[in-house]
Structure 1
Amino acid sequence: MESEQLNFDELSDAIEAMCSSKAEEFQLLGYEYVTGKDIWDCVSRNYAKEGKPPLHKLVNDIYSLKATSYMNYLTIAAYRGFT
C-alpha cells in the first residue's frame, strides 16, 4: 500500500484549516480576537529551534494547545515587544 504524500499547497491548506479550527474553539471560550495566524505563530515558535517536525507532532501541537499556554505566549511576546 502506497502512502500518499501531501504537496506543499495541500499541507499549507490543511495546517491553515487546523489553526482556524483551533482559533474558532478559543473564540467560543471568549477569546474573541484570536486568528488562525495567531495560533500558528504560537505553535510554530518552537520549530525554529527543533527544525521541521513530523506531521503527527504538528497536528498534536495545534489541537492540544490550551488557552492558558496561548495566553502565556502572548504575555511573553508583549514583554519582549513582538506583538
Structure 2
Amino acid sequence: MESEEWSYEQLSDEIEAMCRSKAEEFRLLGYEYVTGKDIWDCVSRNYYKEGRPALHKLVNDIYSLKANSYMNYLTIAAYRGLNV
C-alpha cells in the first residue's frame, strides 16, 4: 500500500475544516459563539510543550473534544486573563 503525501496547505485546510465541524457540533449543543479558531486554540494549547503531534493524534484530539473540556479551557483562560 502506497502512502499518500499531503502538503502543508492541504493539511491546514483539512484541519481547519475539522475544527469548523466541531464548532458546528458545539453550536448544535447550545454553545452559540464557538468558532473553528476557538476549537483549534483549545486543542493546540498542549502542542507548544509537546511539539507537533502525529496526524492521527491531532485528528483524535479535535474530534474527541468534549464540551466540558472546552468550557474548562475557557474558564481557566478567563482566570488567567487570557483573551480567548
- Distance between the aligned counterparts of 1:35 and 1:19, measured in 2? 8
Show structure 2 runs of 5+ residues with no match: none
Tell me the TM-score normalized by structure 2. Answer: 0.97
Deviation track 1:14-49 (CA, whole Å, cap 9, x = no partner) reads 000000000000000000000000000000000001
Show structure 1 runs of 5+ residues with no match: none
Q: Counterpart of 1:9? A: 9
- Distance between the aligned counterparts of 1:67 and 1:6, measured in 2? 30
**Counterpart amino acid of 2:76?**
I
Deviation track 1:24-81 (CA, whole Å, cap 9, x = no partner) reads 0000000000000000000000000110000000000000000000000000001111
Tell me, what secondary structure is at the counterpart of 1:19?
Answer: helix
Q: Counterpart of 1:44? A: 44
Deviation at 1:5, TM superposition (A): 1.2
| RMSD of equivalent CA atoms | 0.5
Extract structure 1 runs of 4+ deviating beyond 3 A: none
Q: Percent identity?
A: 82
Q: Counterpart of 2:19? A: 19
**Counterpart amino acid of 2:35?**
T
Tell me, what secondary structure is at the counterpart of 1:2?
Answer: coil
